[in-house]
Amino acid sequence: MAKKEDFFIQENEILFVPDEDYAPMERYIQFLDAFSRTTYVSIYVIDYFRKNFLYVSENPLFLCGMPAGKVRDMGYDFYLERVTDADLPLLLEINRAGFLFSESVPPVNRLEYTLGYDFHMKQPSGKAMLVHHEITPLHLTRDGRIWLALCSVSLSSQTKAGNIEISRQGCNSRWRYHPENKKWVKYAGVELKDYEKEVLRLSAQGCTMNEISEQIHKSVDTIKGYKRLLFEKLNVGNITEALGFAIHHRLI
């Protein structure tokens, strides 16, 4: 049976953080609390030294109806209780794979990387909801270990769990994790042409095909062709999935 200690691996073991290093954390929390009130995503700060959550924003949907204070007190027991039985082993594997990847990155660059993935959480109704996690290091120890990490939770734009990728700030390349052979594979990220970005932006604003046609001065058939090729490029089936992919991958 999984236990919360399984989320804290030896490769990132933190033996000591002096109390004075926690002094600036109140400013982090004040900032994140203000920020969380302006966004729909749920925000955590994970403390890998104390092995708990330093901060959890209020968000009943992504906290499965629980108040933020209770989730903060539960720490990783929240995941053990609310992640579906089918996805919990995957979540533990993602956690370990992400840390092992970070070991290959020089400490000076570790804050530049973000790990994203999808898994199911059990709601109070008993139904499972697919969510998207993105975790990025927030603060390192003096010897370069990941001490604090910022985690954001949002609705997934995918249809199944997994989709494990790492991105780097300012870099188009991405790394995709393959659970079947437990390897990270680097690949070139998607790049959109200006007209593809414009079609996505206008679609996000609720414009119809005819309205998009009028605004970018192309025929409706051309817009249909743009969308078809865009769906193929992003490997999605409709405009909703395309928008979700583009937002998560910061393409627009």
Tokens at 172, concatenated: 């188009």
Question: Is pLDDT at 245 greater than 90 in this prediction?
Answer: no
Tokens at 143, concatenated: 């010897």
CATH class of 194-248: mainly alpha
Lowest model confidence (mean pLDDT) among 31-40, 66-75, 78-87, 172-181: 31-40
Q: What backbone torsions phi and psi does residue 129 show, to the nearest 5 degrees?
A: -115, 130
Supply the pLDDT for residue 46.
Answer: 96
Q: Which residues contact 137 (CB under 8 A, 6 or more apart)?
A: 102, 110, 111, 113, 146, 148, 149, 150
Q: Which residues contact 46 (CB under 8 A, 6 or more apart)?
A: 53, 54, 135, 148, 149, 150, 151
Q: Which residues contact 72 (CB under 8 A, 6 or more apart)?
A: 52, 53, 55, 56
Q: Where are the domains of the chain?
A: 4-187, 194-248
Confidence of residue 174 (pLDDT cuts 50, 70, 90): very high
Q: Determine the average pLDDT of the residues in 18-46.
A: 89
DSSP E strands, 123-173:
128-140, 146-155, 162-168
Question: Is pLDDT at 250 greater than 80 in this prediction?
Answer: no
Question: Is pLDDT at 248 greater than 80 in this prediction?
Answer: no
Supply the pLDDT for residue 237.
Answer: 86
Supply the pLDDT for residue 116.
Answer: 96
Supply the pLDDT for residue 108.
Answer: 95
CATH number of 4-187: 3.30.450.20
Contact 126, 134 (CB under 8 A): no
Question: Is pLDDT at 128 greater than 90 in this prediction?
Answer: yes
What does the mean pLDDT of the chain come to? 92
Contact 114, 135 (CB under 8 A): yes
Supply the pLDDT for residue 172.
Answer: 84
Calculate the CA 84 to chain-centre distance: 18
Residue 194: CA count within 13 A, CB half-sphere: 1
As beta bridge partners, residue 175 has: 166, 186
Supply the pLDDT for residue 39.
Answer: 84
Tell me the per-residue pLDDT of 195-222, one tens digit each, with 9 for 90 and over. Answer: 899 999 999 898 998 999 999 999 999 9
Alpha-carbon gap, residue 32 to 133, rounded angstroms: 17
Tell me the per-residue pLDDT of 5-19, one tens digit each, with 9 for 90 and over. Answer: 999 998 899 999 999
Instruction: Examine domains 4-187 and 194-248 and report if their fold is the same.
Output: no
Tokens at 91, concatenated: 């979540």
What does pTM read for this prediction? 0.84
For the beta carbon of residue 48, count every other beta carbon within 10 angstroms. Answer: 22
- The larger pLDDT score, comparing residue 105 to residue 1, is at 105
DSSP E strands, 60-127:
113-122
What are the helix and strand counts (H, E) for the chain? 8, 8
Choose the most confident range, by mean pLDDT, from 24-33, 107-116, 196-205.
Answer: 107-116
